[in-house]
Amino acid sequence: MAGIEEQLNNQKMLYREIFVKSENEIKKRFEELRPDKISDDLLTKFAPDSDGENWQKQCLELLNGELSKEVYDKMLEILAYRKMFKCSGCATCCNLACSEYSYEELKQKAQNGDNFAAQFTSVFVPYENINEARAIYPEYVDLVTEKTGGKIYFYHCPKLTAEKRCSDYENRPQICRDFPDNPLDILPEKCGFCAWKEEINPVALMLHSLIAIIEFYKQKLTEVMS
Ligand code: SF4
Ligand code: SF4
């Protein structure tokens, strides 16, 4: 079996390939809208109300409308397919929840109205240090730390019993019911959703790249058109 570093490199290579393919697809859609008289790059500063600027407007509409909807619909499909898989009750997500934010940052976000952060801090408390988290499941903690470059915090839920059961199952927050809802989340090997993640990985990477490219062009077009 490939080591963590090899897996990471393979994943990065695959993502790069998918990113280039996604960008070419989007550029093809821009080209379909290109007026005959225009040969300049899409991100050129055109005169107001010119053919060039109208082309940019159409491309912006495409990004905000059709393309964003395609991404959203595909994401819903992926999440619907997740229902075909089952939690195996390993309790890792209760015992080793991770976030790129510290507890203080999450509390602040919750105070500012972030619903996810509010739910997260309503159940999870931070480990005192990384060694405490490592004692639970060292391979998983090492994998997550490696993949995130170390910028990660581990949490546990006091509602988890010694028998690895939720003591407040009926009232668990939505984030517990929905986990894992991000196909790019790093899952422990024991998780019942690993097969789902593996199967949809190329589509999830494609959607991730599309979102990044759509955001890039939306920002650049808005800048040149202002
Ligand atoms: S509330 Fe229950 S399901 Fe949610 S993290 Fe805690 S123990 Fe797990
Ligand atoms: S990590 Fe996966 S299998 Fe384990 S409790 Fe969470 S959802 Fe279930």
**Which domain range does residue 25 map to?**
4-84+200-225
Residues 55 and 26 in one domain: yes
Q: Which of 169, 193, 194 to mutate to test the pocket of ligand 2 (most atoms within 8 A of CB)?
A: 193
Query: How confident is the model at residue 4, as a pLDDT?
Result: 57
Nearest ligand to the C-alpha atom of residue 192: 2
Please give the distance, rounded to the nearest whole angstrom, from the Cα atom of residue 19 to the centre of ligand 2.
30
Stretch 13-17: mean pLDDT:
87
Do residues 110 and 143 share a domain? yes
Q: Which residue matches tokens 């986990």?
A: 179
Q: What is the mean pLDDT of residues 151-166?
A: 95
172 and 101 in a common domain: yes
- Kindly indicate the confidence band of residue 3, based on its pLDDT and cuts at 50, 70 and 90: low
> With bands split at pLDDT 50, 70 and 90, how would you rate the model's confidence at 5?
low
CB 102 within 8 A of CB 224: no
Distance CA 42, CA 31 (A): 9
Express each pLDDT in 76-134 by its tens digit.
Answer: 999 999 999 999 999 999 999 999 999 999 999 999 999 999 999 999 999 999 999 99
Q: Are residues 107 and 130 in the same domain?
A: yes
In tens, the pLDDT along 181-211 reads 888 888 988 899 999 999 999 999 999 999 9
Q: Are residues 41 and 64 in the same domain?
A: yes
State in Å: Cα 50 to ligand 2 middle.
55
Quote the longest CA-to-CA distance of the chain: 71
* Burial of 160 from C-beta contacts in 10 A (0-12 / 13-18 / 19+): middle
Does 102 lie in the same domain as 170? yes
Banded model confidence at residue 24, pLDDT cuts 50, 70, 90: very high
- Please give the mean pLDDT across all residues of the chain: 93
Note whether 11 and 71 are same-domain residues: yes
Identify the pLDDT of residue 13.
85
3-class secondary structure, 98: strand
pLDDT digits (tens, 9 = 90+) for 26-45: 999 999 999 999 999 999 99
Say yes or no: 78 and 100 in one domain: no
pLDDT of 1: 47
Q: Are residues 188 and 208 in the same domain?
A: no
**Percentage above 90 pLDDT, the chain:** 83
* Same domain? 211 vs 161: no
- Same domain for 73 and 99, yes or no, is no
Work out the average pLDDT over 150-159. 95
Count CA atoms within 13 Å of residue 122 on its CB side: 15
Q: Ligand 2: residues whose CB is within 6 Å?
A: 87-93, 179, 188, 191-193
31 and 111 together in one domain: no
Ligand closest to 193 (CA) is 2
Please name which ligand lies nearest the alpha carbon of 93: 2
Domain count, the chain: 2
What is the position in ligand 1's atom list of the atom closest to the CA of 165? 7
Window from 5-14, 41-50, 57-66, 197-206 with minimum mean pLDDT: 5-14
